Structures are given as C-alpha cells and as structure tokens.
C-alpha cells in the first residue's frame, strides 16, 4: 500500500505539470489556420483591388480572411500575381501548380495594401478552385 504522503505529493506534481501545460498552451496558441476559417469577404480581384485602394475601406479588410477570384498573370514559386494587382503567397506548395492564364479562386489572409507598388498583399493562401 502506498504511503498517503507519497500519493499527495504525486498528485501535487501531476497538478503542477497540468497547470504548466495549460499555461504554456495559453501563452503559445497556434497560428491561425486560414484554410480552416470561413471567409469574412468573398469578392473578385477587381472589387478587392478597388476596396483596398481606398484607405478608408481598406481598414475593414486588414487581417481578415478573403476569398478572391481572378486570372493569374504571373507565377513565381508559391507567389502568384492575379489581375488588378493582387499578390498572393500560398501557404504550401499546391498539388497541382497553377499556370499563367488560369482563373483561380483562393482563400487567404489580407495583409494590406502596398502603396509603393500599388498592390494588394494576401498571404497564407490556399487554392479553393482552379479552372
């Protein structure tokens, strides 16, 4: 039979480990999985470009999940450029690589509007549909 004091200290030990693990997970939450989130906005590349070009309306899109569709103008690895100045960074290499001229539907996080190059920046993107 176990010593009650040993059981007590074992219990305290387990409780401490549990609390430490809880604290650690609370202080180190995982990064957002944009592909698993529902889009906050669904719009075309043209509509997104227009909205982001105006600082007043652009504020609403910052850090939001955007589902955007448009034609691909340029592909460089996981970096795509859609029509109307939409720059997209894919979160992972896709199973089937998109090509210039494809009409694509993407879900991504809106990083913001680059006034220097007049581009909308999206990252952590995943391909929803590629025609």
Partner 1 sequence: MENFKKMVSRSLVMGYTLGLLSLAMGHAQMYVDRQGVVVFEASEQLFEPVKAKNGAVSVLFDASDQTLASLALMRGFEFENALMQEHFNENYIESDRYPKAMFTGKILDFDPAMAGGGPREYTIKGRLEIRGVAREIQPRVLIQKNGEILSLHGSFKLRPQDFNIEIPGIVANKIAKEVLVTLDFKLKEDERP
Closest distance of CB 4 from partner 1, Å: 39
Using alpha carbons only, give the angle 107, 111, 115 rounded to the nearest 5 degrees: 125
**Phi, psi at 41, each rounded to 5°:** -140, 140
Which of 83, 61, 66, 65 shows the shortest CA–CA distance to 74?
A: 83
Residue 24 as a binder of partner 1 (CB under 8 A): the answer is no
> Of 2-10, 14-22, 41-49, 108-116, which segment contacts partner 1 by CB under 8 A?
108-116
Residue 102 as a binder of partner 1 (CB under 8 A): the answer is no
* CA distance readout (Å), 44 to 10, 24, 47, 67, 124: 59, 41, 5, 8, 18
Q: Segment 48-77, which members bind partner 1 (CB under 8 A)?
A: 58-59, 62-63, 73-74
Number of residues that bind partner 1 (CB under 8 A): 26
Residue 83 as a binder of partner 1 (CB under 8 A): the answer is no
Residue 43 or 58 with smaller CB distance to partner 1: 58
């Amino acid at each position: 039979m176990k010593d009650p004091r040993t059981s007590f200290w074992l219990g305290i030990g387990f409780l401490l480990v549990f609390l430490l693990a809880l604290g650690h997970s609370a202080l180190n939450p995982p990064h957002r999985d944009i592909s698993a989130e529902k889009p906050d906005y669904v719009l075309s590349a043209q509509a997104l470009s227009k909205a982001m070009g105006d600082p007043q309306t652009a504020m609403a899109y910052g850090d939001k999940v955007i589902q955007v569709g448009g034609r691909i103008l340029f592909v460089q690895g996981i970096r795509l450029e859609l029509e109307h100045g939409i720059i997209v960074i894919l979160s992972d290499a896709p199973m089937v690589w998109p090509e210039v001229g494809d009409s694509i539907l993407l879900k991504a996080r809106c990083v913001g509007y680059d006034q220097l190059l007049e581009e909308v920046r999206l990252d952590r993107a995943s391909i929803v549909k590629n025609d």
